[in-house]
Structure 1
Amino acid sequence: MSGEVDLPSDQSQAVAGMIREELARRRMSRQKLADDAKISISTLEKALSGKRSFTLATTIRLEQALDISLRGAKAAVVGASPGLAPDHLGAYSRAATQWLEGEYLTLRPSFEGGEAVYAYCTAIGWDEGASHLVFRESSRMDGAFTQSGAVSLPNQSGHIYLVTNDHGQHRMAVLGRPTITGELYGMLCTLQVGQGAHLTPAATAIALINLGRVTAPAFGRIGPDHPQYGEYNGHLRKIMSQGFVRFFPS
């Protein structure tokens, strides 16, 4: 049999589903897989996106690189996609991202000026219908600006993106890998409300701490006289002082 023989369309889709799940589970980049399998990244990308079918030769190389069997993949694997996020969100599997699900104390500097810290709750969980992680904020003083949206987890950077898309208006938090004690530190890019209907692009540090690790969490505007101010402000200072994010010019 020629190595250039294409797999049947349904089997090729099943193979693509298995590969995306393996990449998400191993947190492996597509470039690394292409390098390990000695195929071009273009060939891999086109096959995973459905623009072309996997060939037998390519499938064998991928099996060797991943040390798994792909040719036994059934079309039913594609039906397992409810447990797999779409490609534009990183094609991660629920099993590989369950560690991220939960409720988080969320901290950022107050936009009202001064030294206050603004604290609220962010819940992250799996949406069965959409087949990806979603987030939703709560316990905000400014409830009208509560955000919700999709969670993106691309293998390439290993970062976590919380993205709101409200009729084309975007707001995004970019979070790094969890620290050794589980905190998620990063940057929030949003719009600050000014006078009247004026909105100004703004970026600031943001921290997510699993609520299970927080004793008696406090929400709202936490000023310097609050008992938990030192702990909360310490997280934000750590983000800036230890290089979790960088603003230019520095």
Structure 2
Amino acid sequence: MMGSAGVMSEIDNAQVAQTLREEIAKRRISRAGLAQRARLSVSTLEKALSGRRRFTLATIVRLEEALGASLRDAPEREVSAPALAPPEMGFYSRPAVQWIEGDYLTLRASFGNDGGVYAYRTVIRWSKDRGHLVFAESDRLDATFEQAGFVSMPHLSGHTYLMTSEAGQYRMIMLGHATREQRMFGLLSTLQVGQGSQLVPVSCPVAFVPMKQVAEPVFGLARPGEKACERYRAILDTALGDDFCRLRS
């Protein structure tokens, strides 16, 4: 739906922003590079992605031309969308999983700084045309490695899986049951750059905190001794302290 000034509605705006984050993460392109290709300022793109400015139709068209992909769900696909997620994702319906949709501060241990905590944003939403939950990361210090993928919620384990699949390569976040505060804790498994170009499997605790619960979130690396690090570490330590995950050697 269009307004008189050619601006997308708030619901459509959020959908476009989410889809754009997914495309950026999937293609592993920088926001600066995309802005240049779309003939936009980086500031305009950043403000639109963060919700501080709405996308205009002209901006969306430029971005779609730069990406060679649509950022808007087609209405005819919405009608034929499946009512349930596919069996490999847990056969869930949207009403059953609507509680998990939202904007989360994501915390994990730093791989390169002992005692440090790495913080970024993850948005989980329902994709109308795909018929299942999807997620996308943003506000990462290393934006090139922002991830986007699908969400699996099988009934048997009661756990939530955020999966990234690219050319047969997977990254997984496994989260336990949400707490009364709707926070989720678990384990992240991925690949870390080792010696030379070698990639080494690595796992660490991870926490998902509803963004509305975080006053003045600080993104990027929080180092030991910093107030943000102390605050984030207290949250992240819940993952192991309350037995949401275990690390064994």
1:93 aligned to 2:93? yes
Letter in 2 for 1:156: L
1:194 CA drift (Å): 2.3
Structure 1, unaligned stretches of length 5 or more? Answer: 1-78
1:211 aligned to 2:211? yes
Partner of 2:200: 200
Partner of 1:243: 243
Partner of 1:126: 126
Partner of 1:140: 140
Q: Name the count of aligned residue pairs.
A: 171
Partner of 2:174: 174
Q: Quick one: distance in 1 between partners of 2:98 and 2:216? A: 25
3-state DSSP class of the match of 1:88? helix
- The answer to whether the Cα contact below 8 Å between 2:183 and 2:208 also exists between their aligned partners in 1 is yes
Per-residue CA deviation, residues 154-182 of structure 1 (Å, 9 max, x unaligned), is: 00011000000101000000000101211
1:144 CA drift (Å): 1.2
1:248 CA drift (Å): 1.7
1:59-74 paired onto structure 2 within 5 Å = none
- The answer to whether the Cα contact below 8 Å between 2:81 and 2:128 also exists between their aligned partners in 1 is no
3-state DSSP class of the match of 1:228? helix
Q: Quick one: distance in 2 between partners of 1:150 and 1:129? A: 13
Partner of 1:229: 229
- The answer to whether the Cα contact below 8 Å between 2:119 and 2:222 also exists between their aligned partners in 1 is yes
Q: Quick one: distance in 1 between partners of 2:150 and 2:196? A: 29
1:206 CA drift (Å): 0.3
Aligned-residue sequence identity (percent) comes to: 44
Partner of 1:117: 117
- The answer to whether the Cα contact below 8 Å between 2:135 and 2:148 also exists between their aligned partners in 1 is yes
1:149 aligned to 2:139? no
Q: Quick one: distance in 1 between partners of 2:233 and 2:204? A: 13
Letter in 2 for 1:189: S
1:83 CA drift (Å): 3.3
Structure 1 moving runs of 4+ over 4 Å: none
3-state DSSP class of the match of 2:88? helix
1:177-188 paired onto structure 2 within 5 Å = 177-188=177-188
Q: Quick one: distance in 1 between partners of 2:213 and 2:236? A: 17
1:236 CA drift (Å): 1.8
1:213 CA drift (Å): 0.9
Residues 196 and 143 (structure 1), Cα distance of their counterparts in 2 relative to 1, 3 Å cut: farther
Q: Quick one: distance in 2 between partners of 1:227 and 1:80? A: 49
User: What's the TM-score once normalised by structure 1's chain length?
Assistant: 0.66
Q: Quick one: distance in 1 between partners of 2:160 and 2:128? A: 20
- The answer to whether the Cα contact below 8 Å between 2:187 and 2:205 also exists between their aligned partners in 1 is yes
Letter in 1 for 2:82: P
Which segment drifts farther, 182-191 or 81-90? 81-90
1:82 CA drift (Å): 2.6
User: What's the TM-score once normalised by structure 2's chain length?
Assistant: 0.66
Q: Quick one: distance in 2 between partners of 1:133 and 1:189? A: 20
3-state DSSP class of the match of 2:227? coil
Partner of 2:10: none
- The answer to whether the Cα contact below 8 Å between 2:81 and 2:129 also exists between their aligned partners in 1 is no
